[in-house]
Structure 1
Amino acid sequence: MPSVAAEALALLQRGDSASARGLIDAGCARGDGDALAMRALWRVEGRLVLRDLPAARADLAAADTIGAARILAGFLAIGIGGTRDWAGALAMLDDWADRDPIAAQQRALIAAMAIDAKGDPLDLPMPQSLSDNPMIVALPGLLTAPECDLLATLSDRRLRPALIFHEGQKRFIADPVRDSDAAGFPIVSEWPAVHAINRRLAAASGTAVEQGETLQVLRYRPGQQYRPHLDAVPGLTNQRSLTLLIYLNDAYDGGETHFTRLPLTHRGRKGDGLLFANTLPDSRPDPMSEHAGLPVQSGIKLIASRWIRQRPPEVPDGFGQHEAMA
């Protein structure tokens, strides 16, 4: 027998949103976990109901399902829809570890991290300067091999052809610059271990964790590449001032990061980071930061990417509601 959520999705696919909402509301009234989890996602997205992050957090807590618990633990870790509660997030992982292998895996990874009681790193790699203008530094051993493997595992089933959000059309379109597959970790997927990694990336870049856009994992197959481009966007009022890349695997040839206007081509080892500046002092895109991911010759390249803005967003949960819907 299909779940309430599955029935609601089928109604939505037929264009019957009123019946879908009625079905979910009825399921929530009788305490159905799948219905509560579905309504929570709608409340995050602002789909069919008003966007309401505190109410979404309450629905997730009431749902008591594995999927809802994964999202709720992330909300506690980040502070979405209420007070940030890192200790509570860890307690949730402990509570679900015997029922959810992903919770158990996260808890084991976090236990091995050198972090404080708030989830912030106690130790960071020594930066190695590769260029002064623009600033480019290597960060050897930024992530451990198991942390790289976690990001690869969590992204594997969600990898899709890379898209970009077209602000004018208000929808996702095919990325004309890169032909990789991509998977993001927006607020519903930024679970505690991922959030702890994001806090380390923020510390390594000298920024606040809130300045980072959604962490992405990119997969390049043989022949795929990221053509020469700038990460800064002309006219952006809160500019992408920094980019931080993390190399997640070693089993490929080619695929180096090439700075097209510098005599610099770099490839990190598994777990290494590469941090570089994208802007001039007046916040305009720096032409010298133009770079490319060269074509992969053999094997599969996995890399994580985080664009870092000049300052945190005006809203408390990220740079654009479309990131949650992704």
Structure 2
Amino acid sequence: MAGVAAEALALLQRGDSASAQALVEAACARGDGDALAMRALWRVEGRLVPRDLIAARADLAAANTIGAARILAGFLAAGTGGKRDWAGALAMLDDWASRDPVAAQQRALIAAMAIDTKGDPIALPTVKPLSDSLMILALPGLLTAPECDLLAALSDRRLRPALIFHEGQKRFVADPIRDSDAAGFPIVSEWPAIHAINRRLAAVSGTTVEQGETLQVLRYRPGQQYRPHLDAVPGLTNQRSLTLLVYLNDDYQGGETHFTRLPLTHRGRKGDGLLFANTLPDGRPDPMSEHAGLPVQAGLKLIASRWIRQRPPESPDGFGQHEAMA
């Protein structure tokens, strides 16, 4: 990052947020693309300036940079900060494909998807029940190999040690039961291809796309695991009622998904999904849903994960601190 944006970041690192804001505002008034993109991100985050997704979308449109165009295409695809415009999102990918390889890659991937003019899937995989005690469904071929590869490639540089939000400390800390690396695709990274995948995950789970938390990609190295746990969070008024996993590769040993109280151990092939319920009929966490990601013995395990709530968020800020961060 060069110019005004780099200078503003340096000021922020020194703790001089007032000078950084003044610098960026002046550059935005001159139509500086990097400054407009930076202000858009500030408006999404709601840290230095009030959160305003409508204004952020306008800044992104005015910025006319690769980074801003990627985010704006996602905003159009998902309807963030304004009216949803799937056709407009695809047109943006077409416009930027010759200048941005990620746009070209997304456009080719979307062209191969069996979707309608709104980006919704035309067909879904046949489900295979795995248990009589708990709703656990195998979803063969939920994603294609190229779709899995895209998620793996886009998450590679953003993978960081998995964190959880500590209620007592009011901050993110290392996850004590999961030693994987994680990468999320929040609204600034829910680009059109990612959004189309999220719509498929919603359709196959019988939910709306708005009920899903941020899509995550998890990477497990040899010896790493996700110890026995429940995905439902005690006390949530809008509970994580469903979990949907997608196996992004299969060239590793170990790493099976194990339901500790059934017992059931399952491992899908690349592109296969696994959907299961986390709650009882009254919304309380179901102890029978306790599960673990067993230790990887060799190779790298990549898996996509999406927690699905009982209903969409009531706040425009989404699901708050319990939502996966990136």
Task: Compute the RMSD of aligned alpha carbons.
Answer: 1.3
Paired amino acid for 1:124: L
Q: Map Cα deviations across residues 30-81 of structure 1 (whole Å, 9 max, x no partner).
A: 0100000000000000021111000000000000000000000000000010
User: What does residue 44 of structure 2 align with?
Assistant: 44
Deviations 1:84-105 (A, max 9, x none): 0000000000000000000000
Of 127-136 and 56-65, deviating more is: 127-136
The residue number in structure 2 matching 1:140 is: 140
User: 2 CA distance for matches of 1:324 and 1:63?
Assistant: 28
The alpha carbon displacement at 1:132 in A equals: 2.8
Query: What code does the residue aligned with 2:57 have?
Result: R
Tell me the equivalent position of 1:312.
Answer: 312
Q: 2:259 corresponds to which residue?
A: 259
Aligned to 2:4: 4
What are structure 1's unaligned runs of at least 5 residues?
Answer: none
Assess if the C-alpha contact under 8 Å between 1:210 and 1:318 holds in 2.
Answer: no
**How far apart, CA to CA, are the structure 1 residues paired with 2:317 and 2:161?**
25
Match of 2:198 in 1: 198
Is 1:221 paired with 2:221? Answer: yes
Q: Distance in 2 between matches of 1:134 and 1:322?
A: 25
Is the 2:54–2:81 Cα contact (8 Å) retained in structure 1? yes
> More deviation in 301-310 or 169-178?
169-178
Q: Percent identity?
A: 88
Return the alpha-carbon distance in structure 2 between the equivalents of residues 49 and 322 of structure 1: 23
- SS of the aligned residue for 1:131 comes to coil
**Paired position in structure 2 for 1:63:** 63
Would you say 1:279 and 2:279 are equivalent positions? yes
Would the aligned equivalents of 1:45 and 1:325 in 2 still touch at CA under 8 Å? no
Give secondary structure in 1 for the equivalent of 2:54: helix
Q: In structure 2, what is the equivalent of residue 95 of structure 1? A: 95
What SS does the aligned partner of 2:131 have? Answer: strand
Counterpart AA for 1:249: N
**Match of 2:315, SS?**
coil
Say if 1:45 and 1:321, in contact at 8 Å, map to a contact too: no
Q: Which residue of 2 aligns with 1:298?
A: 298
1:317 & 1:141 partners in 2: Cα distance?
A: 33
Distance 1:25 1:325, change over 3 A: farther
Deviation, 1:164, is 1.2
Q: 1:49 to 1:65 in 2, by over 3 A?
A: same
Measured in 2, the distance between the counterparts of 1:325 and 1:136 equals: 27
d(CA) in 1 for partners of 2:138, 2:325: 33
- Aligned partners of 2:234, 2:324: CA distance in 1, in Å? 24
Q: For 1:295 and 1:183, how far apart are their aligned partners in 2?
A: 19
Distance 1:321 1:234 in 2: 14
Shift of 1:322: 8.0
Task: Provide the C-alpha distance between the structure 2 equivalents of 1:19 and 1:74, rounded to a whole number of angstroms.
Answer: 31
Q: 1: CA distance between counterparts of 2:303 and 2:2? A: 37
